[in-house]
Amino acid sequence: MCIKKSVVLAVMLLLGVKAICHADEGSEALANKLAEKGIITYGEAQTLVTESQEEARKNLANASIVTLPAWIQNISMSGDLRLRSQSDWNSANFYERVRDRVRLRMNLDTRLSECYKAGFGFATGSESIDSTTDELGNATVGKGNVIDANSGSANSTFSGFGRLPVELNLAFIEYDPAIPNVTTAITVGKMRQGTQVWNATDLLWESSLNPDGAAISMNYKINGQMTVGLIASLLSINNLNSAVSNPTASIGEVTYTWDTDDYKVKLGVAQQNLDVYGKNCGTYFGDAAGVPLMLNATGGAIAGAYIDYFVMSESFELTWKNAFCANNIAVVGDMAANSFSPNAPATISDENASCYGVKIGAGSVAGFGQWQLVYLSRTLGGNAWLNKLGANDPYGAAHNETGSQEQINLGLSKALTVAFTYYDYDLLEKTAAQKVAGNTKQDIFQADLIYKF
């Protein structure tokens, strides 16, 4: 009887240790100690440890560990590390500029309850100080806000063996109620790129730029192959240093998807309005006063020009699955036209933008030997879109550019990829001085090693 009581006591002790700290090592050490004292046999100790480990795994998988909140147990982590060597040939210089850069992004997502989830993340980047005014517009020379120096890039350039800054990259809450036949998501905060609108390329929205605001998406499945969707969003462009109301972006889009075993077609039509007339867009999107850069017909800047952007965009992605050797062929494209506002100066032009291309290979490179070839031809008119919202390379995401991009991605393992990208670009419109100098062309070569976790 005493032996049986001792065995029961040992089991209770093991379960107690497991419930408090969930440490397999602690349970194993306790079981071994009981076996050393002769309370239980070594065989019984091993059985108890094995059962404890299996139960702990089941509890963790079912998010039922009583000593940890469910939202902690439901956390999933993802991210990537990218090491880049970048060479720039700017015809204004007589030398090649070489930069070694790093990008680290880490995201954490959790299910708060049945209908709510949240996410946050951090990324490397570059910082600057707005040393002119504080959030209330008061002069604070040398004591301004620390801001993101390049919202469209999470790259940090190596310099002087110094530490690199890490910034908040994501912070959102999502509500996804259960509605029959409709998938719905309402998101607020700093959300992932693509939540606010779907475009096939980075013509209008840089893939590394995460917008701030609120968005709702609804998708209705017509049948097993066809889905129609609706996206609406209201975004905040700048809440700092504004003596006038803050600039915003409002977007509405309708999408259609036809997905079969052999083909996938996705189409989108969106109205994307940027309400910036007479407002401060911040020094990243505008000049020192936050005024967006406008260009005249010959590529010259129009000082102090404000306009709103009323942009109609059409997007498409046509994919032929397993076209050859289990590889896909996809044709993608975006078209955009800015209708301006009544306040637009009569001297501006170049209100159109487009990006077309083809992708051949794996839909997503995630294994040894998988590959993908990408070719894109992009033209972004000087007044088609707000400066620096689109693709970050080349010209640092500036508009008034035209050129091509070629890229190859090769899978070294499930999580490791190497990529090579070449940009061949020039200005779309040039001033008389630029035409004489002939030094506006820019070529960029990037070699990336990417690890996803």
Which pLDDT band holds residue 94 (cuts at 50, 70, 90)? low
DSSP 3-state of 6:
helix
Q: Tell whether the model's pLDDT for residue 56 goes beyond 50.
A: yes
Q: What is the 3-state secondary structure (H, E, C) of 26-73?
A: HHHHHHHHHHHCCCCCHHHHHHHHHHHHHHHHHHHHCCCCCCCCHHHH
Q: Nearest-5° angle of CA 393, CA 300, CA 248?
A: 60
- pTM summary value: 0.81
Percent of the chain whose pLDDT exceeds 90: 48
pLDDT of residue 394: 83
What is the pLDDT averaged over residues 117-142?
73
- How sure is the predictor about 16, in pLDDT bands with cuts at 50, 70 and 90? very low
- Kindly tell me if the per-residue pLDDT of 201 is higher than 70: yes
pLDDT band at 132 (very low <50, low <70, confident <90, very high): low
- Which pLDDT score is estimated for 395? 82
> What is the rounded CA–CA span in Å between residue 401 and residue 87?
19
Confidence band (pLDDT; 50, 70, 90) for 202?
very high
Closest CA to 339 of 272, 390, 392, 249: 272
For the chain, which residues make up each domain, given as ranges?
A: 2-61, 81-452
Beta carbons of 315 and 333 less than 8 angstroms apart: yes
Q: For 146-186, how does the pLDDT look when each residue is reduced to its tens digit (9 = 90+)?
A: 778 888 888 999 988 988 999 999 999 999 998 888 999 99
- C-alpha of 346 from chain center: 37
Tell me the C-alpha distance between 434 and 169, whole Å.
37
Going from the C-alpha of 401 to that of each of 222, 285, 426, 441, the distances in angstroms are 41, 16, 6, 10
Distances from the Cα of 171 to the Cα of 115, 212, 309, angstroms: 17, 9, 27
- The DSSP symbol for 392 reads -
Mean pLDDT of 392-405: 87
Q: What is the DSSP string of 322-366?
A: EEETTEEEEEEEEEEEE---TTS-TTB---EEEEEEEEEE-SS--
Q: Is the pLDDT of residue 234 over 60?
A: yes
Q: How would you label 232-249 residue by residue, b for 16+ Cβ within 10 Å and e otherwise?
A: ebebebbebbbeeebbbb
Other CB atoms closer than 10 Å to residue 223's CB: what's the count? 7
Query: pLDDT band at 4, cuts 50/70/90?
Result: very low
Q: What is the pLDDT averaged over residues 285-290? A: 78
User: Which of 54-63, 197-206, 212-221, 267-276 bottoms out in mean pLDDT, i.e. has the lowest?
Assistant: 54-63
- Residue 46: the pLDDT is 78
- Name the range with the highest mean pLDDT among 82-91, 126-135, 350-359: 350-359
- In this prediction, residue 330 has a pLDDT band, given cuts at 50, 70 and 90, of very high
The reported pLDDT for the residue numbered 95 is 65
CATH code at 81-452: 2.40.160
Across 57-71, 103-117, 331-345, the highest mean pLDDT is recorded for 103-117
Burial of 409 (0-12, 13-18, 19+ CB in 10 A): buried
Identify the band that residue 308 occupies on the pLDDT scale cut at 50, 70 and 90: confident
Averaged pLDDT score across all residues of the chain: 84
Q: What count of residues does the chain have? A: 453
Mean pLDDT across the stretch 384-413? 90
Q: Among candidates 284, 350, 285, 341, which has minimal Cα distance to 308?
A: 341
